[in-house]
Amino acid sequence: MDPALRGSWSLNVARSTFGPDGAPSAGTVRWTEHGWVLALVFAGGYVYADAVLTDHGCALIGVPADYSCRIDLVTPRHVRFMLRQAGTIRRVGDIELLDSVTTRATHRVSPASGAPYTETAIWVRDKE
């Protein structure tokens, strides 16, 4: 994986599109050599957070026990993340480093109920 993915990134809400649950008002993700941690803030102060460890495959933190994940390196600048719930694919995310300060995460979501949808999140590197 390209080390340029590492660091702290802020969600550009205005340039992103979200599914039927609505857009967060803010988001941050921190990538390290061990994986990433994500936090999103929604209306009313609701915060969603989870983490993915990539040291030995893919391990999830902060999600129900029936979820599992897989990480594939498409290219050094393109990571594919697959989330399964009890064997059913719920989310396939393509995370791409577009340039030194921008990543795009395109997630194809298949919820347990409701129609499938696509979310596209644009992330901008925080100034260190």
Each residue's pLDDT tens digit, 51-92: 999 999 999 999 999 999 999 999 999 999 999 999 999 999
Which tokens in the block code for residue 83? 């989330």
The CATH superfamily holding the domain 3-125 is Calycin beta-barrel core domain (2.40.128.20)
φ/ψ region of 7 (left if φ > 0, alpha if ψ in -120 to 50, else beta) reads left
Mean pLDDT (the chain, rounded)? 96
How far is CA 3 from each of CA 40, 44, 50, 58, 121, rounded to the nearest angstrom? 23, 35, 21, 18, 20
Say what the pLDDT of residue 20 is: 92
Give the span between the Cα atoms of 75 and 10, in whole angstroms.
23
Say what the pLDDT of residue 58 is: 96
Give the span between the Cα atoms of 67 and 55, in whole angstroms.
18
Give the span between the Cα atoms of 59 and 70, in whole angstroms.
8
Say what the pLDDT of residue 21 is: 86
Asked whether the predicted pLDDT for residue 120 surpasses 80, the reply is yes
Give the residue-averaged pLDDT of 45-55.
Answer: 95
Asked whether the predicted pLDDT for residue 128 surpasses 80, the reply is no
